[in-house]
Amino acid sequence: MSLAPLDAGFYFRARRRLRARAAQAGLDGLLLLRAPNLAYATGLFLSANERPMGVWLPVEGDPILMLPDLERENAEASGLGDLRFYEEFPGEVPAVLWMLGQIGAKRIAIDALDASLLDAARARLTALDLTDHAMRARQIKEPEEIALTVEAAKFADLFLARLHATAGDIIAGGGTEADLMADTMGHARSALFETHKRAFAGTPMGITASVHSGPRAALPHGAVLERTPRAGETLIAGIGASLGGYHAESGVTLIVGEMSAEQRTIMAAMAACNDAAIAACGAHETCMSANNAAMDALRAAGLGEAIRHRIGHAMGLEGHEAPWLAPGDATRIETNMVFSNEPGVYRPGRDGYRTINTMIVRENGVDIPSRFQADTPIDARTIPI
């Protein structure tokens, strides 16, 4: 069966889950203002800007979609019956306070609230809960959401496969990181849109990527430059792909020319780090214990001083979302959570290494829809020049 955007039935079930959370928390309902939460509850992928947009999900009664008037036509396509509009931002009455007046309920959770409105909102309510209940619901993906992530991962992998196949010729011809980026991005993006543009028109889809090399690979968020990678250097590629609003990631470190013994040792340590994260997620440990297990593998290899970031983060309607595979996040890892797995080794002034896999937590283990690393062993991760 071919893939399609999430349908009205999915969003109805999502609203039902959110209503149940509100009832369990002893609230009258949830006011969702964050754009990803709005999309999760309604299917509306609207551009976030200074104009607040919200949906009210009462425990009892019909939802109310509240938007600026310029979104009227988009609202009418949502399938929701109760649509209300304010004229413009900032307005004589702040839009969020206007929404509270439209709702009329007194025990409300709001997923995001500007601090300047906190006192005024509390004055209108008997109970104000600032928990992001929708984000907590979104942490556990439904099968339809996971299917989109799995498909997106294929196009992140496609970028890496193209880079691996063509980088040698491009670099040998004097090509730069920017040239590598242009070639591989064009290839992966064209394939994504050729395959899915018709079915997924009107929903977010795309490719984001970075390619950086040499000493600048020691910067976890290195820029893509007009720089020609040199023999013996590492080249990092990190790719994000999205389909129907859902994200996946793949990434790899390649060696320009021949791989040294030291480089292979580091890449083997990163593979051990990757595997430790998979094992901890598959065992449904806490997020911070999964991070600790992964980092311990790097420390055991003598690379503790080269650690610059956590092992990963959740993905879904946002490329980076909670929970975090990081220190301080005690969230228990559950079936159908989706995470990135990003071992990184960074040695300023010398080189850097990072790999990325997408992980889908199952009842007994972890699925890895990112296949480039599995299909390309460490010794094959070189770019002949």
Domain 8-138 has CATH 3.40.50.720: no
Across the chain, where does the E strand assignment appear? 29-32, 54-58, 64-68, 82-86, 107-110, 127-129, 206-213, 234-243, 246-256, 312-314, 321-325, 338-341, 344-347, 351-354, 357-362, 365-367, 382-383
Domain with CATH 3.90.230.10 in the chain: 143-383
Percent pLDDT > 70 in the chain is 100
Q: Shortest CA distance to 3 belongs to which of 208, 124, 144, 99?
A: 144
pLDDT bin (cut points 50, 70, 90) of residue 77 is confident
Distance CA 246, CA 358 (A): 12
> Cβ of 271: how many Cβ atoms within 10 Å?
16
Distance CA 311, CA 107 (A): 38
How far are the Cα atoms of 87, 132, 259, 295 from residue 312, in angstroms, in the given order? 41, 21, 27, 11
Q: Is 208 helix (H, G, I), strand (E, B) or coil?
A: strand
Q: Which strand ranges, in their side-by-side order, compose the sheet holding 382-383?
A: 206-213, 234-243, 246-256, 382-383
Tokens 């994504």 — which residue?
192
Q: What is the mean pLDDT of residues 14-32?
A: 98
Q: Domain 143-383, what fold?
A: Creatine Amidinohydrolase (3.90.230)
Q: Is 374 helix (H, G, I), strand (E, B) or coil?
A: helix
Domain with CATH 3.40.350.10 in the chain: 8-138
Mean pLDDT value across the chain: 97
Instruction: Give the per-residue pLDDT at 135.
Output: 98
pLDDT of 1 over the 90 cut: no
pLDDT digits (tens, 9 = 90+) for 107-148: 999 999 999 999 999 999 999 999 999 999 999 999 999 999
Q: Shortest CA distance to 312 belongs to which of 336, 283, 280?
A: 280
pLDDT of 328 over the 60 cut: yes
Instruction: Give the per-residue pLDDT at 347.
Output: 97
Instruction: Give the per-residue pLDDT at 255.
Output: 98
Q: Are 256 and 229 in contact (CB under 8 A)?
A: yes
pLDDT digits (tens, 9 = 90+) for 210-247: 999 999 999 999 889 999 999 999 999 999 999 999 99
Distance CA 342, CA 218 (A): 14
Quote the pTM value. Answer: 0.96
Return the sign of the alpha-carbon dihedral for residues 110, 81, 202, 74.
negative
Instruction: Give the per-residue pLDDT at 185.
Output: 97
